[in-house]
Structure 1
Amino acid sequence: MDETTRRQKLTIPEGRLRIVIDSDAKNEVDDQFAIAWALRSPERFQIEAVYAAPFSHTVFRHNIGDYDFLVQEDPKEGMEQSYEEIRKIYQLLGENPDGKVFRGATGYIDEDRNPVQSDAVHDLIERGMNSEETLYVVSIGACTNVASALIQEPKLAEHIVVVWLGGQPLYFDHGYEFNMGQDIRGAQHLFNCGVPLVWIPCMNVASLLSFSDDEAKSKLNGKSRIGTYLTDIVLDQFSNLDKALSRGKMHRTLQLRGREDQSEEYFARFESKYVAWSRTIWDISTIAFLKNPGWVQSTRVPSPILGDDCRWVKDREMTSRHEIRVANYCQRDLIFGDLVACLNHD
């Protein structure tokens, strides 16, 4: 693909967009917001399919201990739970999920970098290859399904634009976070294969999208079936001070690794007594970018090189790499304003 064509594809057009969403919907609470918002934006999006992505919490337990995430160790089970959760979101919105929700990978891309076969991969390849109009692929979990489709059919890259949430900004020493850490090989393929890619890092970009308990109660609860459900799953995350302290420690140890030069032992000397509850709704950053690119500021950069250790490789030849678009900032108030307006009625 020549760079002129790539730049055109990385500039989101006006009008209605063809969308598929790849989601680990049962992992947390943010996927549900993203899927519901997209489905409730029919003037902008034609949602053709939603794929269930695998997830497991092994990546957290192996790196930081089990601070906050609970029991899910089997990516196949994570995918199946996500499949059922996606169907539930459709039903809460009064829509039929049959023929629109597909099971994805039951594991991650292996050392030989073979694609992981699934209904989602087959559908994405067929849907992308059989249309002259660009298909936008929103990936809000481990990118196994999307990367597998691109490995199996490299020409798919000419027909799609991928918008993926994962990893940390390039000025961090590492890219480590949940989506990227589960399938580093899949992430490497997204950055290397040349597919038009809009990349949304997590900390200091998507992390700006924080939604408080009071906002959930006042702006969504009781306004619609989906609004009440989203409120319930958000409030379920808020329990006690220990959980808030645990999440803060998790962010410092994993997401913000290398951004702090003082020890956990040092921080333990200082007491935290209170917490103002909020929850980061990370995944809506992808939908926000496609709905209104002005809500998520971005720039074109040479596609970065991700090492096997999930660190960014500093390479003098970076300028010869193809371009991607990277998000730098999210307009939190504008994004949540639109989301709430779309979801607070049946």
Structure 2
Amino acid sequence: MKRIESSILITLFWVVMIGHAAADDGMRIRLLIDSDANNETDDQHAIAYALLSRDKFEVEGITVNKTHNGGDVDEQMAEAERVVKLCGFYPQLPVFKGANGSFAEILPHLDEPVYDGKEAVDFIIKQAKKQCDRKLVLLPIGKLTNIALALAKDPSIIPNIRIVWLGSNYPRPGEYNLTADLTCIDYVLSLPVDFEMVTVRYDDPSGSWGVKAYQQDIFDKMPGMGPQVDVRVEGRHGGTFTTFGDYSVSLYRHAPQHGDPPFRSFFDATAVAVLKDPKLGKAIEVPRPALNGRGWVERPKNPLKMVLWQDFDGPAIMQDFFNVIDAATAE
């Protein structure tokens, strides 16, 4: 009789545990990252931050694109795969090549069997169409080209997605991700899709420029950190690595630094942070503007709104990033 009771208790224990796991999974954010991964240093850290925040994100895949720096889409792909490997997600997490060119250049070819960016576009649409009670969050941390192409190819995905874009100096003109493809911005903003803009605002502490990863902190805190992988991964600047932490040090050693003490802004990782914890930034709803050249034209009567993220808690974001890497090391 005691054996039967014990068996029942064990069964009930696992039923409860499985139920909790299912509930936790249902609370996680479905995430698809779209990145120019080989551009500088922030993309790699944003990808690692999201992948290793397992309690918050269900990362379904990564798509890549070409911007001004970092080579063509093959080099962007190679860098994304390095990070996926160093975080212990290879080969189960898919990475797909996206656009080399601009939205305007590719748009006329969307009905052709093969076109620039097709792998990424097809994957975005496929994941957006999966039956699920949670929206798919698209996190473009480069140009918006792949996202715009997917929306043009299949507008039926609009109700199923939420776009959180790291880009623009809004309300000021310019910014790297914006100018990487000026032809897609107005198109995306014209659609009734959930859209959020995580501001950059160079030299302005109210934008993600103000979230700073100091070189010395990377040198002090990152060596040997993150999951240990079995197969050594060749780095962007040479050498081989078995932890993301050691690769992070290499990236910061080779990247030009700014200021005194030296730092690089943690732009892309800021978008991951406010997705994880909205209290790490301030969000306001504004009418969507229009783009005129590289600058913005306000449209106060526009019924379409967007969420604008600004005023980020830089120290708290950096601490959370280091906490995530530290927790992954202890696994």
**Shorter-chain TM-score above 0.5:** yes
Residue 82 of structure 1: aligned partner = 76
2:199/2:208 contact within 8 Å kept:
yes
Compare relative contact order (CA 8 Å, sep 6+) and give the higher one, 1 or 2.
1
Aligned match for 2:63, one of 43, 51, 62: 51
> What is the CA distance between 1:178 and its match in structure 2?
1.1
Amino acid at match of 1:291: K
Distance 1:25 1:117 in 2: 15
Counterpart secondary structure, 1:142: coil
Alignment match of 2:247 (pick from 217, 222, 229): 229
Correspondent of 2:281 among 296, 299, 304: 296
Q: What are the within-5 Å matches in structure 2 for residues 304-343 of structure 1?
A: 304-307=289-292, 309-315=293-299, 318-343=300-325
Q: Is the 8 A contact 2:66 2:100 kept in 1?
A: yes
Cα distance in 2 for residues equivalent to 1:107 and 1:324: 26
Write the mapping of 1:1-346 to structure 2, written as runs, cut at 5 A: 15-57=27-69, 77-98=71-92, 100-110=94-104, 113-114=107-108, 117-132=117-132, 133-170=134-171, 172=172, 174=173, 176-203=174-201, 204=204, 205-224=207-226, 225-238=243-256, 275-307=260-292, 309-315=293-299, 318-344=300-326, 345-346=328-329
In the superposition, the TM-score normalised over structure 2's length comes to 0.79
Q: Which runs of 5+ in 1 are unaligned?
A: 1-13, 58-71, 245-273
Q: CA deviation at 1:78?
A: 2.3
Distance 2:117 2:303 in 1: 29
How many matched pairs? Answer: 276
What do the CA deviations read for 1:267-293 (whole angstroms, capped 9, x no partner)? Answer: xxxxxxx84211111101110111001
How far 1:131 moved relative to its partner? 2.4
Q: Which has the larger radius of gyration?
A: 2
- SS of the residue 2:311 aligns to: strand
Partner of 2:13: none
Q: Please state how far the C-alpha of 1:113 moved relative to its aligned partner.
A: 4.8
Give the root-mean-square deviation of aligned CA atoms: 1.9
Contact 1:113 1:185 in 2 (8 A): no
Q: How much has 1:37 moved relative to structure 2?
A: 0.6
- In the alignment, the residues of structure 2 paired with residue 112 and residue 288 of structure 1 have an alpha-carbon distance, to the nearest angstrom, of 32
Q: Tell me, in whole angstroms, the C-alpha distance in 1 between the residues paired with 2:96 and 2:182.
A: 23
Equivalent residues of 1:27, 1:78 under 8 A apart:
no
- Contact 2:288–2:298 (CA under 8 A) maintained in structure 1: no
SS in 1 for 2:103: coil
Offset at 1:238? Answer: 3.8
Q: Secondary structure at the match of 1:306?
A: strand
- For the 8 Å contact 2:104–2:184, the answer to whether it is kept is no
Q: Which amino acid in structure 2 is aligned with residue 324 of structure 1? A: M
Distance 1:229 1:148, change over 3 A: same
Separation of aligned partners in 2, 1:95 and 1:167: 31
Q: Deviations over 1:196-233 (max 9, x none)?
A: 01101111311011111111111112334111111210
Gaps of 5+ in 2: 1-25, 111-115, 227-242
Cα distance, 1:314–1:197 mapped onto 2, change above 3 Å: closer
Distance 1:97 1:195 in 2: 32
* Cα pair 1:30 1:283 within 8 Å, conserved: yes
SS for the counterpart of 1:218 is helix
* Alpha-carbon distance between aligned partners in 2 of 1:111 and 1:125, rounded to the nearest angstrom: 20
CA distance in 1, matches of 2:79, 2:145: 19
Question: Matched residues, percent identical?
Answer: 25
